[in-house]
């Protein structure tokens, strides 16, 4: 059977579009975390010393520790989500095997609650059940696609990679310029990058690009300023 083409091909209608959108947004936010956290670390050290060795060591520690932390957090979170999805799929499959008539009535009721007449809802439920009963119930009741259960390993890799990619910018910005320009160059590079990631995340989510960019730039500027002042204060007092 040929599925008719959508009259609006530019609009996403695939079942897992929302999941892909969330992955993309998570990648942008992971890169943003890498930019801000690593930049704050190296700028804080630069508040104490302009020597490249301590800055490099602190920066690399922040990159490695941050990437592992992001990956671990994402793995644990997505593992819990995956286990919940699998449990719901098993439960739905068992209910369909034990009482298919009750499940058909339940599916009919769902479509009636969405505005279909009783006759139309019964016909839709019957046709979907005949085609793939489990998929019909997972979609209507739980908004789950059995073939699209999330992978915690993929999430962990993606999160760590996004963080590491974002961390590259502040590392280069703090180490490549001459000693006297390291902090101002890092500030400028990081704030520009945050404006771009804010704009991109707003574009993905369909929200205001100006507001999103402004929030990230202000938050990043405050983080950099705070860590630089702390580093300078500790250096001036002789604590480090």
* Average predicted confidence (pLDDT) for the chain: 84
Which value, to the nearest 10 degrees, does the dihedral of the CA atoms of residues 81, 87, 89, 95 take? -150
Answer whether 0.85 is exceeded by the pTM: no
Region 219-227: what's the mean pLDDT? 93
Contacts of 106 (CB under 8 A, 6+ apart): 137, 141
DSSP 5: P
Contacts of 218 (CB under 8 A, 6+ apart): none
| Residue 233 DSSP SS3 | helix
Q: How many residues does the chain have?
A: 240
pLDDT value of position 9: 46
Locate 74 and state its tokens.
């994402």
| Residue 13 DSSP SS3 | coil
Token look-up 């990631």 returns: 197
Chain segment 57-90, per-residue pLDDT in tens: 999 999 999 999 999 988 998 888 888 888 888 9
Ranges 57-71, 164-178, 226-240: which has the least confidence: 226-240
Which value, to the nearest 10 degrees, does the dihedral of the CA atoms of residues 88, 89, 90, 93 take? 120
Chain segment 107-165, per-residue pLDDT in tens: 899 999 988 898 998 899 999 888 888 888 888 887 777 676 677 888 888 889 999 99
Which value, to the nearest 10 degrees, does the dihedral of the CA atoms of residues 78, 83, 88, 91 take? 170
pLDDT value of position 140: 85
Taking 90 as the threshold, does the pLDDT of residue 168 lie above it?
Answer: yes
pLDDT value of position 153: 86
CA distance 7 to 17: 18
Taking 70 as the threshold, does the pLDDT of residue 239 lie above it?
Answer: no
CA distance 167 to 150: 26
């Amino acid at each position: 059977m040929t599925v008719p083409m959508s009259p609006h091909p530019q609009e996403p209608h695939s079942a897992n579009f929302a999941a892909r959108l969330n992955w993309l947004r998570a990648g942008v936010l992971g890169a943003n975390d890498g930019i801000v956290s690593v930049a704050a670390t190296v700028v804080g050290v630069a508040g104490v010393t302009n020597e490249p060795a301590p800055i490099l060591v602190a920066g690399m520690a922040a990159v490695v520790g941050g990437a592992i932390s992001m990956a671990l957090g994402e793995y644990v979170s997505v593992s819990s989500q995956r286990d919940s999805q699998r449990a719901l799929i098993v439960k739905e499959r068992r209910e369909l095997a034990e009482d298919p008539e009750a499940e058909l009535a339940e599916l009919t009721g769902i479509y009636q609650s969405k505005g279909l007449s009783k006759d139309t809802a019964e016909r839709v439920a019957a046709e979907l059940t005949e085609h793939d009963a489990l998929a019909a119930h997972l979609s209507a009741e739980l908004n789950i696609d059995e073939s699209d259960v999330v992978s915690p390993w993929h999430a962990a890799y993606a999160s760590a990679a996004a963080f590491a990619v974002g961390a590259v910018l502040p590392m280069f910005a703090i180490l490549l310029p001459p000693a006297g320009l390291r902090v101002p160059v890092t500030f400028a590079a990081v704030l520009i990058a945050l404006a771009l990631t804010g704009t991109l995340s707003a574009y993905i989510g369909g929200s205001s690009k100006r507001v999103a960019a402004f929030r990230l730039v202000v938050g990043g500027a405050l983080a950099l300023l705070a860590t630089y002042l702390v580093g300078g204060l500790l250096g001036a007092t002789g604590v480090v």
